[in-house]
Structure 1
Amino acid sequence: MVKEIKLIKDGIWLMEVNVAVDLARETALKILYDITENQAYSNISVNRHLDNDKLREIDRSFATELVYGTVKWLLQIDYIIGKYSSVKLKKLSPWIKNVLRLGVYQLLHTDRIPVSAACNTAVELAKRYGHQASSRFVNAVLRNISKNIDNIPYPDKSDIASYLSIFYSHPVWMVQKWIELYGKEFTEELLKSNNQVPDFIIRTNTLKTDRQTLLDLLHKEGINAEPGRYIEEAVILKNPSSISNLETFKKGYFQVQDESSMLAGKILDPKEGETVIDVCSAPGGKATHIAQIMNNNGTVLARDIYEHKLNLIEQSCRRLGIDIIKTEIHDACDIDENLIGKADRVLIDAPCSGLGIIRKKPDIKYSRTENELKEITDLQQKILNIAARYLKVGGYLIYSTCTIQPQENLEIVQDFLAKNAGFKLSGFRELMPSALDISSSEEGYIQLYPNINQTDGFFISKIKREK
């Protein structure tokens, strides 16, 4: 839509221009500004801005793609802008900087948007959120980049960490750490996988239906769905959109959950009538899966420190038809003397760096620092030491994280076992899906990687209290 408007920013009249800015790109720009300038979480900002009646479903999808794609490739994009801009990135206004970022993302990482469309729409956004000179500057930078797409001067491969950092848009400290742990070839495959769009996985609620029936119902709702890779309840949605509007969702026939997360419940292997404590439960995917495995018979105590997150668990329980989950506000770092020795099973899905879910939350790459890992591991050790005391003798505990950092995973478990003689790792190879044969499961732990297993990067260990 073309119309004449007065541009006003921070209460100051700027200019009158004729503009034609599509709503999807403008919405994406506002979200990107919120993320980069206000440090907003990408998923929260996206949900807030897309709750707009003026946006069609196709606009919401396109805006979401633009935001997550730009954030995913932000390090690379800023590097390229720096190579082709006559003005240093830090001296650009935040609005114009983000207009350029959106434009560069479309030029480099989409194959269905013509160069002219990417450039022209960026110019119109620059007019609205800057001034005439800004629009000319944006046009010049993007046109220059478009002419040199096949000749971008990336760092020399002789400095492999710097090259991989920019080429795959991951912080250099992270790349260096993974090269030390896994080698160059594995690290490059991991980085490549982190930039891919993950499958959208849901879990069949077997309390209400079975997987084949769910697949049939989803197909009738226009959803292209197929069985998951590993877990018998898992379903992959190929064209997910407006999940909450589906009748199958409203009726509680499924829950959104990655297969790696489902695996934690499978390996915990709770039995009907048992008492299970989930000490870091929100948003409740694992707790509801555990209740499902228990056939809604027994007790699951789901705890978290935030009431609004526990409310989400309760909402899921009502929709899924689960009534054995009891929610409580409780800090996992504080011992509950009333629960010592009372649980048959304990689940610790520990707070972690989240470096195994970069595919889903790309801003994690930039919000984490190497120094933070020490604080995180201290927290993980404390939670494990406290939660283990809730186990009965003969009971089992799962310690899991959504990261691939050994210091948050196996090293935490080994440190705990070295200091607590009554606990041992417990092998669980018989509980593993036949399509996921990981030898370390015999020893009591597994590490999943997105580049190998096509799941989230996820660690699971199983500990038994023997005395």
Structure 2
Amino acid sequence: MSVDKPREIALKILYDINENGAYSSIAINKGLEAYELKGVDRAFITELVYGTLKWRLSIDWIIESFSSIRLKKISPWIINILRLGIYQLMYTSRVPESAACNESVRLSKKYGHAAAGGYVNAVMRSVVRNREGIKYPNPLNDLQKHLSIKYSHPEWMVREWLCEFGEDFTKELMEANNGIPDFTVRVNRLKASMEQLSESLKSEGLETSPGRYAVDALVIKLPSSIARLEAFRKGWFQVQDESSMLASIVLDPKPGELVMDICSAPGGKALHIAALMEGRGEIIARDIHMHKLELIRQSAQRLGINIITPEMYDACVLDHNYIDRADRVLVDAPCTGLGIIRRKPDIKWSRSIEDRDEIIRLQKKILNIGARYVKRGGCLVYSTCTIGHRENEDVVMGFISENPEFQLEDMTPFLPGPLKRPQAKKGYMQLFPNTDGIDGFFISRLVRKPI
């Protein structure tokens, strides 16, 4: 019995992520590149994988509600087939019920034992018949569990956000996390203007619109394979979310300066910094993984940038050769990544409170070392792609209390109009997907006192 190829590919990718701990973006790219696929099939596979990952906790609740077998007793292949099928039933409108059910049964017969097909069919048909009557935990008895199941976020995350942001904001945040983010690129002004890029993309049948904040941001609607676009091959743009662009904008690098990006890979911010420096000066871009540094080299070559020096170096180790030398230092620190759940939904299931505690210790160490490279009168930007005060404001305020030669500086002169907020005047800003429409990001700007 033949199976639907896109669904089978999506299943294999999900299995790799859920059972082998593969990163979603890497697993999807690897899975798609292994086959010659039409654009519509690539888009469908991507939607299936990310959608199923986003709603995994809610889907597992539904499976447990209709399965005669406990979740832990179901084989990994079959549980992922059920997740994939129920996602199509519950969270998409364009997949016919019959297709979702029948294709799930076919997959189960190929990847399970003899009775698997009947079991999957029974669960799927039960969901179809009773979907309107699915009951979630009562919010009056347990609000935390109710929100966790309904919006498919782990309970520890919900608990933290309820305490920090309140019920309404937490709901809005989780709804945004389950949405589809804009696909945003940054024009490379070293090679092209925004008008040239827009016209090139339009000529290849793509619809674009301006970004929300950054003047160099462009949103591409329903993109196909980006690497095949002529403008990409020419180096006219780089894929980058606006929140990431804002960190480089706040750093405000100038032509001719020495800039250090000590947690650089895959290099989006370093590449942006080079453009802001008009291709003049020196950027030291560091990471601990050689294969990630190679990504920076490849992107720099495509974009026509020759002022970036990628170096394999541990940000936790002080480099005495650069003490007090850099005009500007960017510490885009390792973090839990809770601000980019929309793009990488597997973060919800791969992170824990224990992870965060260890990450915070790492952030503090890297920030203190990065500060040693900043010369008198120089600038230090600390940023993360996460939300929550523990990894952000608390780290910065703790750093300042121990390093009085640094002080926060008003960020509003560097920000686009809509982001000139009272908080930014204090020298830091937290962005959220639900309120700002871009990735959740924290940015702070510190300066080292001249004397």
Tell me which interval the TM-score lies in, with the shorter structure as reference length: over 0.9
Distance 1:379 1:413 in 2: 13
Give the aligned partner of residue 112 of structure 1: 94
Give the aligned partner of residue 6 of structure 2: 24
8 Å CA contact 1:23, 1:55 repeated in 2: no
1:49 Cα offset (Å):
1.7
Amino acid at match of 2:124: L
Distance 1:55 1:264 in 2: 36
Query: Aligned Cα RMSD in Å?
Result: 0.9
8 Å CA contact 1:271, 1:293 repeated in 2: yes
Deviations 1:431-466 (A, max 9, x none): 110122321111100000000001110000000000
8 Å CA contact 1:356, 1:450 repeated in 2: yes
Matched, 1:131 2:106: no
Aligned 1:135-154 pairs, distance under 5 A: 135-154=117-136
1:22 Cα offset (Å):
0.8
Matched, 1:38 2:20: yes
Deviations 1:416-442 (A, max 9, x none): 000111110011211110122321111
Matched, 1:429 2:423: no
Question: TM-score, with normalisation over the residues of structure 2?
Answer: 0.98
Amino acid at match of 2:54: K
- Partner of 2:417, secondary structure, is coil
User: What is the aligned counterpart of 1:448 among 424, 431, 441?
Assistant: 431
- Partner of 2:372, secondary structure, is helix
Matched, 1:363 2:346: yes
Distance 1:349 1:419 in 2: 20
Identity of aligned residues (%): 55
1:56 Cα offset (Å):
2.8
1:152 Cα offset (Å):
0.8
Give the aligned partner of residue 245 of structure 2: 262
1:54 Cα offset (Å):
4.2
Unaligned runs of 5+ in 1: 1-18
1:217 Cα offset (Å):
1.1
Matched, 1:233 2:232: no
Aligned 1:36-185 pairs, distance under 5 A: 36-158=18-140, 159-185=142-168
Give the aligned partner of residue 275 of structure 1: 258
Distance 1:240 1:399 in 2: 32
Deviates more, 1:57-66 or 1:204-213: 57-66
Amino acid at match of 1:194: N
Amino acid at match of 1:449: F
Aligned 1:296-445 pairs, distance under 5 A: 296-445=279-428
Deviations 1:383-408 (A, max 9, x none): 01011010110000000000002110
1:30 Cα offset (Å):
1.0
Unaligned runs of 5+ in 2: none
1:58 Cα offset (Å):
2.1
Deviations 1:261-303 (A, max 9, x none): 0001111001111110000000010001001000001111111
Deviations 1:73-118 (A, max 9, x none): 0011001100100011111111111111111000000000111110
How many equivalent residue pairs?
449
Distance 1:403 1:117 in 2: 38
Distance 1:209 1:29 in 2: 40
User: What is the aligned counterpart of 1:202 among 167, 181, 185?
Assistant: 185
1:57 Cα offset (Å):
2.7
- Partner of 1:322, secondary structure, is coil
8 Å CA contact 1:171, 1:365 repeated in 2: yes
Distance 1:58 1:352 in 2: 34
Amino acid at match of 2:29: N
Structure 1 stretches of 4+ with a deviation exceeding 6 A read none
